[in-house]
Amino acid sequence: MSSARKTAESARQRFARLLKTARLAQGISQEALAELAGLHRTYVGSVERGERNIAVDNMEALAKALELDISDLLRPDATQA
């Protein structure tokens, strides 16, 4: 693959990027988001860094905590930061 070609963003990376973007846009800390979603704050941080192969149930909990649909955090056409 040539260095000029972009590497495709995985669904995990996309979810992580869009989760962090949404959280910051709402002015919510990782700790507050974790509490709203019923998850541990270090887990949320690792999800945002794309380190976790997150379960669908946890994806849904995070989306609901941000008052979003899970699909909002997976849409492939979202502008990359």
Structure confidence by residue, pLDDT tens digits, 5-64: 567 899 999 999 999 999 999 999 999 999 999 999 999 999 999 999 999 999 999 999
pTM (two decimals)? 0.86
How many other C-beta atoms can be found within 10 angstroms of the C-beta atom of residue 59? 18
Calculate the alpha carbon distances from 15 to 1, 3, 59, 68 in Å: 25, 25, 8, 13
Q: Under a CB-based contact definition with an 8 Å cutoff, are residues 24 and 48 in contact?
A: no
3-state secondary structure of 22: helix
3-state secondary structure of 51: coil
